[in-house]
Structure formats: structure tokens, C-alpha cells
Amino acid sequence: MEISKLNAHNVREPLSRILGIVEIIDHLTTEELHNEALAYLKESAQELDCTLQKIIEMSTNEIDNFALE
């Protein structure tokens, strides 16, 4: 349950931003690309990585707990 809640918002939100940037990237000026898009892309990718690490940690704990029972 906890994991599915994390999925719904925390994963889809940064992922949607990454996909959004990819969608517009051909239409950006060099300046927009360097000053805004790349920084946003990096920030969103890091956020996604952070959430995925939490999910992996939580599911590993779940498996460990299950094994102990």
C-alpha cells in the first residue's frame, strides 16, 4: 500500500517532467536548453532516483520481514 502510494505520485511526477522535457527539447533555443531544460532534467532525474531507492529499500525490508516470519 505504502509503495503503491509512492508510485502514484512520487514516481510519476518527476517521470512526467522528464518526458515533458523530451517532448519539447527539439523546440528549445540553445540558451533555453542550457539555462533551463538541462538543469530541470537533472533535478527531476535525481528526484526519481531518490524515490526509486526508497521503493527498493521498502520492498527489500518487506521481503526480509516475510523471510523472518
What phi and psi, each to the nearest 5 degrees, are found at residue 29? Answer: -75, 160
Of residues 2, 3, 6, 24, which one binds another protein by CB under 8 A?
24
Residues in contact with another protein, counted by CB under 8 A, come to a total of 17
- Listed in sequence order, the residues at least 6 apart from 33 whose beta carbon sits closer than 8 Å to its beta carbon are 25
Of residues 19, 56, 58, 63, which one binds another protein by CB under 8 A?
19
42 sits near another protein (criterion: CB under 8 A): no
As a whole number of angstroms, the distance between CA 43 and CA 41 comes to 6
Residues lying near another protein in the complex (CB under 8 A): 8-9, 12-13, 16-17, 19-21, 23-24, 27-28, 36, 40, 43-44
